[in-house]
Amino acid sequence: MTATLEVRELRKQFSVGRPAIDGVSFSVPAGEIVVLLGPSGCGKTTTLRCVAGLEHPSSGQISIGGQVVSSPERGIMVPPRLRDLGMVFQSYAVWPHMTVRQNVVYPLKHRRIGRAEADRKVDEVLELVGLSEYAARPVVALSGGQMQRVALARSIVYRPQLLLLDEPLSNLDAKLRLRLRDDLRLILKQTGMTALYVTHDQAEAVVLGDRIGVMRDGKLLQMGTPDEIYNRPADLFVANFTGATNELTGILVEHGGQFGVVDFGGGQRGEAALLQRLKLGEKVRVALRPENIGIGRQDGGNLFPGRVMARRYQGTQTVYDIELFGVRLEALELGTAARHEIGVETSVALPREGCWAYRDTGPASHN
C-alpha cells in the first residue's frame, strides 16, 4: 500500500552549527513524487534521513500513512525497519558478490515470502526496470546505470509504502543520467508509489516531480508544481536557482495589481510582474531568464537600447552578454546560427511576464 507522508515543523539541530532543518513542513500525497531541490548543505539529506528514521529530529512530527513515526515531543521514534520504506542512495548499494536476481530477491527473503511468489515479484520488477535479460549476471558485470536500476528494483520489489531517493543519478555520466531520469519517472508512476526524491539538479526536479520544494539553509522556501516553481517563483532565490539568473535593480514607481512599473535609473522604466507584495517606492530586484531576453527585437514588451558585449556559440544555442544601462545580462537564443555580432548596438525586449520583481533584501541572492 502506498501512503501519504506528512512532515510538520521539522527541526534538526546537530551538536554544532546552525539548524540543518529549520521548521520544514510539507506533505506528499499518496502516489505522488515530491522532489526537494536545493544547493549543497541546505538540508535535503538530513530531511530524508529524519523521514527514514536514521536521524533523530530535534522537534516536529513525521507521519507515514497516518501513523506518527517520529515526534520527539511525544517521545515517539519508530525504528527505520518498522517504517516500511524503500531507499535508494547516490552510491550503488548493491551486493557485489551476488547476481542481479539474488540482489533483488534479498528483501523478500527477509519478509518470509514463498519461493514462487518471490520469483514472480522479482521477474515483474526486473521487467519494470528493464533488466530482465540480466537476471543471472553478477552485478559487478553491470554498468553504473544498470547497478542503480538493481538498487531501485531491490527497494521497490516488496512494495514499501514510501520510497526515499537521495540523488540516485548523480554518480552516472551525463547521458545515462538523462535516460534513467526519464525512465525513473515512468517506473515510479507505473508502481503508483509515494516517493520523496532529493536533488540539487533543477532539470531532474522538473522532470521527476509532481511537486517541487525548493530549500535553502534548512528552510523550505516554496512548494509547488513545476509550473508554479518555474513561472511564479516565490522569491528571488527560487527564481535564481531555477534559472532566472539575470538581475536588474530599481525602484517600484507604479503599482497596478499583477504588474507594476520599475524605474531602473537613468530615465529607464519598464513593466514587471509583481510576485510579492511590494510597496510603492520600495527597492526591488527584477529577475529574468536568459531565454526571455529578445535581442534585436522591436516587439515583445519593455524595449531598451543595449549592446552585444560577447557571444558564446554552443552549437544548438548561443549565449550573449548584453549590456543594458550599465548592467551585464546573459541572453540565450536557440538555433544553430549565431545571429548577432559583438559590439552592435541593438534594441532589447524584455517581456513584462518574464520580469519578476522582488523585494531587495540586500546583497548576494545568487546561489
Please give the residue ranges that form the binding site for Mg ion (CB under 5 A). 45
Q: Which of residues 157-216 bind ligand ATP (CB under 6 A)?
A: 200
**Local structure of residue 99 (DSSP, 8 states):** B
CB 88 within 8 A of CB 155: yes
Residue 43 contact among Mg ion, ligand ATP, none, beta carbon within 5 to 8 Å by kind = ligand ATP
Give whichever of 42 and 295 is closer to Mg ion, judged by the CB atom.
42
Which of Mg ion, ligand ATP, none does 41 bind, CB closer than 5 to 8 A by kind?
ligand ATP
Q: Applying CB under 6 A, what is the total number of residues that bind ligand ATP? A: 13
From ligand ATP, Mg ion, none, which one binds at residue 256 (CB under 5 to 8 Å depending on kind)?
Answer: none
Question: Cell triple for residue 253?
Answer: 514607481
**Whole-number minimum distance, CB 168 to ligand ATP, in Å?**
12
Query: Would strands 59-64 and 67-71 be described as parallel, antiparallel, or unpaired?
Result: antiparallel
160: number of Cβ within 10 Å: 21
Burial class of residue 102 (count of CB atoms within 10 Å of its CB; 0-12, 13-18, 19+) = middle
User: How far, CA to CA in Å, does 91 sit from each of 88, 166, 171?
Assistant: 8, 9, 7
Minimal distance, residue 44 CB to Mg ion, in Å: 5
State which residue, 129 or 229, has the beta carbon closest to ligand ATP.
229
> Quick one: CA dihedral 128, 133, 135, 140, positive or negative?
negative
Task: Write the DSSP symbol of residue 138.
Answer: B
Residues 20-49 that bind ligand ATP (CB under 6 A): 20, 38, 40-46
Length of the chain, please?
367
* Residue keyed to cell 529574468: 288
Q: Judged by CB, which is closer to Mg ion: 167, or 247?
A: 167
Please, which residues have CB within 8 angstroms of residue 80's CB and are 6 or more apart in sequence? Answer: 52, 53, 54
Closer CB to Mg ion, 218 or 250, in the complex:
218
Binding-site partner at residue 31 among ligand ATP, Mg ion, none, CB < 5 to 8 Å by type: none
Binding partner at 46 among Mg ion, ligand ATP, none, C-beta below 5 to 8 Å by kind: ligand ATP
- Cα atoms in the 13 Å half-sphere on the side-chain side of 122: 23
Nearer to ligand ATP, 43 or 107 (CB): 43
Alpha carbon 105 to chain centroid, angstroms: 31
Name which of Mg ion, ligand ATP, none residue 226 binds, using a CB cut-off of 5 to 8 Å depending on partner kind.
none
The one segment of 14-22, 102-110, 231-239, 294-302 that binds ligand ATP by CB under 6 A:
14-22
Distance of CA 285 to the CA centre of its chain: 23
In whole angstroms, the minimum distance from the beta carbon of 45 to Mg ion comes to 3
Residue ranges binding ligand ATP (CB under 6 A): 14, 16-17, 20, 38, 40-46, 200
